[in-house]
């Protein structure tokens, strides 16, 4: 990693300490994850990533590794609260909370959480530019500094077979994701993952905007990609787990200050 990567905005050790704050008990960690999840859904709603009942974000339960928290189907992203969230096991049982479980959410997220212990959270929505770019059936190019976060760190699921309700399709998606931070679902949209809700949500926000930027650039002319060496170097700075977590913090602070009821 180059020297600049060690100093994104502030001392790395200090930020790591904040990102991995010690909690007195697992209940405190669970509440923190649920608060971040509810806030992420409100942020997605604010950015227009909601469409009908489509879209879901999940976070693994800190105590039960085969359980995850997810937004209930039919509840607006813009109105999501901590108390609305559902806890679901890998068999599809709602073990806590009231509401409908989205079948596609279960099929996609359960397989991702089962296949990838490294994944704490995953985000998927039918965002406008993500859908448009996904229809092209190709990966993002390193056209901007922000897009470099995904350079050689995202995958393409290059076939659309309908709404993801078959467990085999969920397993295929999880396999396609591999060790990457994101996957483009052809003719469908984007999915991002992270070691925290914060990270997964931020990757989705910036990936959606990177899709928008590439679509605009290609509509205007022939964009010039960043050379491989510098794209890799930039990815190490803007595409790290630390960078993803830290970039989300201002969004969280603003949404909680403006909409504190999400913590209810």
Residue 23, pLDDT score: 55
198 compared with 12, residue with greater pLDDT: 198
The C-alpha atoms of residue 54 and residue 73 are separated, in whole angstroms, by 8
The C-alpha atoms of residue 196 and residue 163 are separated, in whole angstroms, by 26
Contact 156, 137 (CB under 8 A): yes
User: What letter does residue 6 receive in the DSSP assignment?
Assistant: G
The C-alpha atoms of residue 145 and residue 59 are separated, in whole angstroms, by 28
- Proportion of the chain above pLDDT 90, given as a percent: 83
Alpha helices in the chain (DSSP H): 12-19, 26-46, 103-115, 128-134, 167-177, 197-220, 228-238, 241-258
Per-residue pLDDT averaged across 8-16, rounded?
Answer: 41
Provide the pairing of β-strand 182-185 with 154-157. Answer: parallel
Closest by CA to 184, choosing from 150, 215, 234, 217, is 150
Contact 12, 6 (CB under 8 A): yes
Residue 157, pLDDT score: 95
pLDDT for 213 beyond 80: yes
The C-alpha atoms of residue 72 and residue 80 are separated, in whole angstroms, by 9
Residue 19, pLDDT score: 41
Cβ atoms within 10 A of the Cβ of 188, count? 22
Provide the pairing of β-strand 94-96 with 189-194. Answer: unpaired
State pLDDT tens for residues 240-254.
Answer: 999 999 999 999 999
Per-residue pLDDT averaged across 65-71, rounded?
Answer: 96
State pLDDT tens for residues 157-180.
Answer: 998 877 777 788 889 999 999 999
Q: What is the mean pLDDT of the chain?
A: 91
Residue 24, pLDDT score: 66
Buried-exposed string 91-116: b where 16+ CB fall within 10 A, e elsewhere: eeebeeeeeebbebbbbbbbbbbbbb
Residue 16, pLDDT score: 42
pLDDT for 145 beyond 90: yes
pLDDT for 228 beyond 70: yes
Closest by CA to 32, choosing from 194, 195, 240, 197, is 197
Q: Where residue 49 falls among pLDDT bands split at 50, 70, 90? A: very high
Among 24-28, 60-64, 165-169, name the one with the lowest average pLDDT.
165-169
User: What letter does residue 83 receive in the DSSP assignment?
Assistant: G
Q: For 128-169, give the DSSP string.
A: HHHHHHHTT-SPPP--STTGGGGTTSEEEE----SSS-SHHH
Domains and CATH numbers, the chain: 24-263 (3.40.225.10)
pLDDT for 87 beyond 80: yes
């Amino acid at each position: 990693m180059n020297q600049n990567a060690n100093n994104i905005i502030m001392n790395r050790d200090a930020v790591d300490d904040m990102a991995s704050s010690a909690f007195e008990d697992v209940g405190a960690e669970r509440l923190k994850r649920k608060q971040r999840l509810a806030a992420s859904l409100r942020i997605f709603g604010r950015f227009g990533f909601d469409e009908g009942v489509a879209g879901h974000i999940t976070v693994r339960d800190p105590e039960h590794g085969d359980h995850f928290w997810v937004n209930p189907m039919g509840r607006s992203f813009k109105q999501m609260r901590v108390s609305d969230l559902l806890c679901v096991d890998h068999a599809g049982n709602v073990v806590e909370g009231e509401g409908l479980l989205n079948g596609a959410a279960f099929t996609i997220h359960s397989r991702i959480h089962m296949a990838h212990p490294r994944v704490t959270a995953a985000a998927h929505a039918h965002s406008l530019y993500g859908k448009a770019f996904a229809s092209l059936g190709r990966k993002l190019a390193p056209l901007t500094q922000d897009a470099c976060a995904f350079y050689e760190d995202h995958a393409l699921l290059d076939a659309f077979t309908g709404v993801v309700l078959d467990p085999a399709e969920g397993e295929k998606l999880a396999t396609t994701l591999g060790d990457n931070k994101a996957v483009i679902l052809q003719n469908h949209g984007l999915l991002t993952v992270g070691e925290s809700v914060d990270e997964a949500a931020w990757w989705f926000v910036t990936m959606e905007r990177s899709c928008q930027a590439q679509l605009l650039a290609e509509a205007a002319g022939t964009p010039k990609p960043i050379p491989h060496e510098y794209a890799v170097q930039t990815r190490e700075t803007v595409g790290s787990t630390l960078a993803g977590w830290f970039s989300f913090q201002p969004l969280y602070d603003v949404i909680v200050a403006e909409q504190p009821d999400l913590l209810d």
